[in-house]
Structure 1
Amino acid sequence: MAADAAEGACPGCGVFSGRVHQRVRQSVKDIPVGGDLLELVVVKPRFLCAEGACPRRTFTQTTDQLPARARCTTRLREAVVAAVLDSGRATAEAANAHGLAWGTVNAAILGHTMVLPEVDKVPVRALGIDEHRFATAKWFKHPDTAVWCRVEPWMSTFVDADTGHVLGVVDGRSSRNVTAWLAGRSEAWLDRLEVVAIDPSATFRTAIRKVLPTVDISVDHFHLVKLGNQMLTEVRQRVVREVLGRRGRKQDAVWAHRMLLL
Structure 2
Amino acid sequence: MPDATFTRPDLTTFARLDDLGLEVTGQLLEPDRAVLACRVVERDDWCRRCGCQGVPRDTVIRELAHEPFGWRPTTLMVTVRRYRCAECSHVWRQDTSKAAEPRAKLSRAGLRWALVGIVCQHLSMARVAEGLAVSWNTANDAVLAEGRRVLIDDPTRLEGVRVLGVDEHAWRHTRKGDKFVTVIIDLTPVREGTGPARLLDMVEGRSKKAFKDWLADRDQAWREGIEVVAMDGFSGFKTATTEELPDAVSVMDPFHVVRLGGEALDECRRRVQQELHGHRGRKGDPLYSARRTLHTGADLLTDRQHERVESLFARPEHVEVQCTWGIYQRMIYAYRAPDRTAGRAEMASVIEALSSGVPARLVELRKLGRTLARRVCDVLAYFDRPRTSNGPSEAINGRLEHLRGLALGFRNLTHYIARALLEAGGFRPRLHRHL
- Output the TM-score relative to the length of structure 1: 0.63
Residue of structure 1 in register with 2:384 after alignment: none
Give secondary structure in 2 for the equivalent of 1:182.
helix
2:186 alignment partner, one of 144, 155, 160:
160
Residue of structure 1 in register with 2:264 after alignment: 231
Residue of structure 1 in register with 2:106 after alignment: 72
Contact between 2:273 and 2:281, CA under 8 Å: does it hold in 1?
yes
**Residues 170 and 62 of structure 1, relative CA distance in 2, 3 Å threshold:** farther
Structure number with higher strand proportion: 1
Q: For residue 247 of structure 1, what is the amino acid of its counterpart?
A: R
Counterparts of 2:93 and 2:206, CA distance in 1:
43
Residue of structure 2 in register with 1:11 after alignment: none
Structure number with higher helix proportion: 2
* Alpha-carbon offset, residue 41 of structure 1: 1.7
Superposition pairs of residues 9-158 of structure 1, within 5 angstroms: 23-32=59-68, 38-44=74-80, 63-96=97-130, 98-101=131-134, 103=136, 104-111=138-145, 115=152, 117-118=154-155, 121-130=158-167, 156-158=182-184
**Residues 157 and 36 of structure 1, relative CA distance in 2, 3 Å threshold:** closer
1:212 alignment partner, one of 245, 262, 266:
245
Counterparts of 1:120 and 1:26, CA distance in 2:
36
* Alpha-carbon offset, residue 73 of structure 1: 0.9
Counterparts of 1:43 and 1:163, CA distance in 2:
46
1:202 alignment partner, one of 197, 218, 235:
235
**Residues 121 and 131 of structure 1, relative CA distance in 2, 3 Å threshold:** closer
**Residues 154 and 80 of structure 1, relative CA distance in 2, 3 Å threshold:** closer
The unaligned stretches of length 5 or more in structure 1 are 9-14, 49-56, 139-151
**Residues 245 and 123 of structure 1, relative CA distance in 2, 3 Å threshold:** same
**Residues 7 and 245 of structure 1, relative CA distance in 2, 3 Å threshold:** farther
1:247 aligns with 2:280: yes
| C-alpha RMSD of the superposition | 4.4
Give secondary structure in 1 for the equivalent of 2:40.
coil
Show CA shifts across 1:241-261 (max 9, x none).
355454312453643664565
Name the structure, 1 or 2, with higher relative contact order (CA <8 Å, separation 6+). 2
* Alpha-carbon offset, residue 187 of structure 1: 4.7
- Output the TM-score relative to the length of structure 2: 0.42
* Alpha-carbon offset, residue 181 of structure 1: 3.4
**Residues 126 and 260 of structure 1, relative CA distance in 2, 3 Å threshold:** farther
The unaligned stretches of length 5 or more in structure 2 are 1-38, 85-90, 188-195, 296-435
Share of identical aligned residues, percent?
Answer: 26
* Alpha-carbon offset, residue 218 of structure 1: 2.3
Counterparts of 2:160 and 2:105, CA distance in 1:
36
